[in-house]
Copies of this chain bind each other. A is one copy, B any other.
Amino acid sequence: MVSQQQWERRTQWPMAGVALCFLVAYSCQVLLDLTGTWQAVCAVVILGSWVLFFVDYTARLILADQRLRWFAHHLFDFAVVLLPAIRPLQLLRLLAMLSVMHRAVGGAIRGKVMMYTIASSVLLIYVASLAMLEAERGHPDSTVTTFGEALWWSMATVTTVGYGDFSPVTTTGRFVAAGLMIGGISLIGVVTATIASWIVEQVSEGDAAHQAATALQIEELRNEVARLGERLESDSVRP
């Protein structure tokens, strides 16, 4: 029987592929006016991807050493099984994998954080717009009727601007909006934090004398003390 790590390593790429298939099928279903065969294909892909997500989640839960602990630390994966709109966010895992490959080559952490943030934001806005459009367009009071309007509304929500020219009226739409708002606060947080980290570094580099002592400098000092000790040793031996 395989361990949980083995399972996760082997299913990483296939599951990212499943998430991509789901995203394409979901996009087609919402954006295109499908009928007949194509509608059936989309429905099958969406259902099939759900089955695969469910199997993957169950397998990882069963293979976990401490199942309750694993469940508590993977609530997001649980939500993926329950809520279709969250599923495409699994694609961010792809990014995590690319990031690991990138680390081998080397590169700044802040750059990776920004790349990850931009990719997450774009994916989040796209998926939220799809979910919003699907939820709202059937409702009589709804103001969101096209994908362009849904995208515009998502952008205004994720940046916490919130004009109010478009706002969800259905319960599903409001849950999507709540997710976007939380995403928006995190987005502001990541942007601010990255800039703060950069400024702190710049300021400390500005005046070399007041710079924090580095581990390298302590290491050099230690070598000096060690050399002193060796000389002392040889002195006491000589006479």
Residues of A at the B interface (CB closer than 8 Å) are 108-110, 113, 148, 152, 155-157, 159-165, 167, 171, 174, 177-178, 181-182, 184-203, 206, 208-222, 224-229, 231-233, 235-236, 238-239
Chain A interface SS verdict (over half):
helix
Cβ B163 vs Cβ A160 within 8 A: no
Residues of B within 8 A of A193 (CB): 192-193, 195-196, 198-200
Q: How far is the CA of A211 from the CA of B217 in the complex (A)?
A: 10
Contacts of A195 in B (CB 8 A): 186, 189-190, 192-193
A228 touches B229 (CB 8 A): yes
CB distance from A182 to the nearest CB of B (A): 7
Q: Are A210 and B214 in contact (CB under 8 A)?
A: yes
Q: Is the CB of A159 within 8 A of B171?
A: no
Given contacts A192-B193, A222-B224, contact A229 B231 (CB under 8 A): yes
Q: Are A196 and B203 within 8 A (Cβ)?
A: no
Sample of 18 A–B contacts (CB below 8 Å): A161-B181, A164-B165, A188-B191, A188-B192, A189-B194, A193-B198, A208-B215, A210-B216, A212-B212, A213-B215, A214-B215, A220-B222, A221-B225, A222-B224, A227-B229, A228-B232, A231-B232, A232-B232
Contact in complex: A156, B181 (CB < 8 Å): yes
* Inter-chain contact B231/A199, CB cutoff 8 Å: no
Instruction: Please judge, given known A-B contacts A159-B181, A160-B161, A225-B225, whether A209 and B214 are in contact too, CB under 8 Å.
Output: yes
CB closest residue in chain B, given A184: B159
**Would you call A156 and B162 a contact (CB within 8 A)?**
yes
Q: How far is the CB of A217 from chain B (nearest CB, A)?
A: 5
* Complex-state Cα separation, A225 to B224, whole angstroms: 7
